[in-house]
A and B are shown apart, each in its own frame.
Chain A
Amino acid sequence: MIRVEHLVKAYPGQAVDGGGARLPAALRDVSLSVGRGEFLAVVGRSGSGKTTLLNILGGLDRGWTGKVEVGGQDLASLRDRDLSLLRNRTMGFVFQAFHLLPHLTVQENVTLPAWFGPTDRDRADADLRAREALQRVGLLHRAPDRPTHLSAGERQRVAVARALLNRPRILLCDEPTGNLDGATGSAVLDIFLELNRRDGTTLVIATHEPRVSEAAGRVIVLRDGRIAEGTE
């Protein structure tokens, strides 16, 4: 499903090996593969490169070297149009900060990916799919509310519902429970596990929380942009 070979990502002011006075690259020669339906946890301390790796896998970050394939497509060779379509159809994102749009209702936030589909059919049954997704995360009753009226756990569940709207095969989650208390975080984790087990959704979750990594099928540890532990 996902294949990464010798991935290197250096931001301005960074060098691949951190030579001289320059900082080491955010990702250095990372190689890994994630199979269909696998649940991979990427752990590491802050600044280890977890978020960068997820952004690259999701096609949000460019300017790297190496090879990244998602669903058999080489991300480096995709044009913006195809990459956007891949994000819209194949992937779902869940962020630590939720990133719900406050001027939209919960229902409208969840239907957002449908607005950017390439055809009007994408929006035709978007409301129905949104209600299904909200039902799945247990928030159907909050559909007409604004995100500002929701708790942090509810917001993150809405973000998960948004990620699920187009029934993606891959879910990329960046510290999804980072802003949640223990019980709420567990509830969100349960949703991920259900998605992974019942629907076969491939999960790649960046986290530093042990309970998440413990629930994952496989764990890799990033340290200073390199895979320090785990299976490549």
Chain B
Amino acid sequence: MTFEQIVFYSLAVVTIFSSIMVVVQRNPVNSALYLILDFFCLGGLYLTLNAQFIAIVHILVYAGAIMVLFVFVIMLLNLGDTHKLADRLNMKKIIGIAFGLAFFVELLYLLGFGTTRSISQQSPAAPEIGTIEYIGKVLFTKFLFPFEVTSFLLLAAIIGAVILAKKKIIH
């Protein structure tokens, strides 16, 4: 086993473990903390794929900003008795499990029996494509126009959020 493989497998195991823990934990705060661990491991996996920029942004945005928001909401909501969160087996759950199993089988088929050619191929420009320098270069040349459109998208979204937040509904 090469060094890369060792890193990959250890990260993968922790990722899967923490993902499962997110779902099975009774206490929502614990779930949220496991989700943070999950995000960090995913960030590590991005690093092994030469996607440094995505790795950093992933940790900054997801583990940093969004998770703090999650934890705040959970604490503010004050869910009280955590045992009530566990619901009984109903139709929704059965359908969910069926879909999950179907995707799992699909994944196994893809890894085991299907042609692995399509997923093992790596882009030839892989080493430098994930750096901030490269992303900055294409962002201001090839993707300049979509980048500018995004800025207007965000402007409109900010103003929309302000309008909605100011809103008072009279019944």
A binds B: no
